[in-house]
Structure 1
Amino acid sequence: MQQTSLKDRAAGALMGAFIGDALGLGPHWYYDLGELRRDYGEWIDGYTEPRPGRYHAGLKAGQLSQAGYILGLTVQSLAERGGYDEADFCYRMDQELLPLLDGTPISGPGGYTSQSIRELYRRRVEQNLPWGETGGHADTTEAIERTLALAVRYARDPARLAQSVAANTALTQNDATVVSMTVAYGAVLGMLVEGHRLDAQLSMKLMKLVKEGALPFHAVTSDNLGPPRPGAPDPPRVGKFASPDALLTPSYMAQAAADPEIRIEPAWKVSLVYGMPCAIYHQLPAAYYLAARFHDDFESAVLHAVNGGGQNQARAILTGALVGAQTGLSGIPERFLSGLERGKDLVGLATRLADQAAGE
């Protein structure tokens, strides 16, 4: 694996997410794998157009969905403001997204509006509620798909990463477990951007940050998850999130990917092992597994994510960011960049934010 800089890894994470989004545009949400193969062949190896009547019908190969559009708004806000400015993010959503929606699933940029954003529309536009009272109960990865930009920006500052990701997530999703898993993904991505490996040791590095008070997870165990001493009180910093288990998942997935006695073959069947649906607890194990197994092979990681069907777009976004952070932008095949609509502009935007992350 070639040596990469933090700037290269940061830009790679962002472009990996954009690429994963566009790769999932055509074959999005096929739960019948036979139908997916009939429409797109035995192996999807690049950008494709959605079929008539499907979720993103009318869009072209290489374009972004609404998730990619919102990620772009988030990256642009961070780049132009020099960091996370919640008022600016909310203003952009009010001005550049919500007026384009009508509250129905098939509306707005990208051809499909997700559950949490439809709920945001109802509360913000129809009910005229203030930001801060707009979060709903969607148990999906929709917040991760934009807050991954915050994780990249604050990769060197885990405490600020966790605070900003949690705050931004709560604008659209307020379930405590969903927020904690979203923050955990951000913490993992931040570690990869810093240069750590997605391996069996990563979770213990994250737990060290919990013990130091940098990550707001509750934990009473000693080192290596040993039991607390008899009569030991709660730690002085009781975490915002009830359990640190979301920080332990990635290393278990990495161990499974590295264990020769545990094989998911072909790797796209990770969707059948961990589940095809949209819920965050199906998506994260699959993304962690693929990102650990193909840590130095961006193409294999994202294509296996897409070919697994179901909510393959989210799986590809999450996997693309994690693997892009490990290979760096320099490790992403050129065809994925050149085939992406406005690819040069997106690389420029990603590089601008990566400069800020590297200079933090």
Structure 2
Amino acid sequence: MSEKAKAMVLAAFVGDALALGAHWEYDVVALRQRFGPVTGYAAPGPDGHHGAKKAGEFTHYGDQTRILLRSLADKGGFDLDDFAAKWLARMRGYDGYIDGATRMTLKIFDFGEGPGESGSNSNDLAGAARIAPLVCALRNDLPALVAAARAQTKMTHNHAQVIEAAEFFARAARAVLDGKYLRDALAQAAEAGYASAPIERWLAAGLETAREDTVTAIGRFGQSCHIAEAFPAVIHLVMRHGRDLAECLRQNVLAGGDSAARGLLAGMLLGASLGLEAIPEAWLAGLADRESIEADLRAL
């Protein structure tokens, strides 16, 4: 495995874990007072969405990404049925926060649908944000990567725009691993053609803010989970901080809202671009489950 493929996955997990304590806090003044300047992991407050979690652990997005990585390692590639079985085993009785997309997906599974038809109608970016392990595993087979990125997303988020966003970010990350500059990789991924999501418009909106303050730009896009707001926010993050992964993830947390989904994707893209040396060692050392993540990566 290349160093940058490993960095891509680890940086995605770091982006999620760094957002844990502040996830879904929308008051940017309060965020800066409590978490600024974001030097490391922070535990969530007892009354927050992730109150049972400890610093360095993952949100429910990161935990589902972890399930996908384990499935890939166990099966030697993407197997939707295995991913679904592992996802159900973890998310039924999950001890963390269960969002609306997860609750609806669990209900649809309980109605007897299989993983190809189990997805909620959620338009949250989170369904597309789990894909770093897939890019790592399938980077040498683009058609298989695209199909897997779409399938894993549809399993929980059966929304055309979210599914197409997963394809876009998978294509972009793979192009970065292939050696393309980040901006060129994003442009190449946008050329694939998308029937439902206005990918080129969202990409252009993010690119236009590349010189702006991150908190201001994301506040204008919208801090929420919804893809029309979160997609251009991810583009802003990676273009504004394309040479500084740590600052990218710090500013992502301070921008508030659904920082975990944005952090997974921004970490993935900049990890693929900049490599392991861009991730602060203290962040790697404090990452929950790091040893088993790296073991699964070796198994790929």
Taking structure 1 as the reference length, the TM-score comes to: 0.77
Match 1:324 to one of 262, 271, 274: 271
Q: What do the CA deviations read for 1:241-294 (whole angstroms, capped 9, x no partner)?
A: 41684257446634642xxxxx312x3333213211111121121112211222
**By percentage of residues, which structure has more helix?**
2
CA contact (8 A) 1:17 1:321 kept: yes
Structure-to-structure mapping, 1:184-199, within 5 angstroms: 184-199=168-183
Q: What do the CA deviations read for 1:104-153 (whole angstroms, capped 9, x no partner)?
A: xxxx24x211221111111113x233332311210012222223322232
Q: Does 1:282 align with 2:229?
A: yes
CA contact (8 A) 1:203 1:247 kept: no
1:198 deviates by 1.3
Partners of 1:325 and 1:286 in 2: how far apart? 19
Structure-to-structure mapping, 1:102-181, within 5 angstroms: 108-109=94-95, 111-125=96-110, 127-181=111-165
Partners of 1:247 and 1:339 in 2: how far apart? 37
- Partner residue in 2 for 1:37: 32
Percent identity of equivalent pairs: 27
CA RMSD of aligned residues (A): 2.2
Partners of 1:191 and 1:128 in 2: how far apart? 38
Q: Does 1:55 align with 2:64?
A: no
Match 1:347 to one of 285, 294, 300: 294
Q: Does 1:315 align with 2:300?
A: no
- Partner residue in 2 for 1:202: 185
Q: Does 1:70 align with 2:55?
A: no
- Partner residue in 2 for 1:221: none
3-state SS of 1:196 partner: coil
Partners of 1:244 and 1:59 in 2: how far apart? 34
Partners of 1:274 and 1:152 in 2: how far apart? 30
- Partner residue in 2 for 1:93: 87
Amino acid at match of 2:289: R
Distance 1:130 1:245, change over 3 A: closer
1:61 deviates by 0.8
Match 1:23 to one of 18, 27, 41: 18
Amino acid at match of 2:189: L
Partners of 1:184 and 1:311 in 2: how far apart? 20
Amino acid at match of 1:189: A
1:21 deviates by 1.1
1:336 deviates by 0.7
CA contact (8 A) 1:306 1:315 kept: no
Q: What do the CA deviations read for 1:154-189 (whole angstroms, capped 9, x no partner)?
A: 223222211111122221122222211221111111
CA contact (8 A) 1:154 1:161 kept: yes
Runs (4+) of structure 1 exceeding 6 A deviation are none
CA contact (8 A) 1:116 1:172 kept: yes
Q: What do the CA deviations read for 1:43-75 (whole angstroms, capped 9, x no partner)?
A: 222100111211111321111122111111111
- Partner residue in 2 for 1:294: 241
Unaligned stretches of 5+ in structure 2? none
Q: How many residues align?
A: 300
Asked which structure has the greater CA Rg, the reply is 1
Amino acid at match of 1:253: G
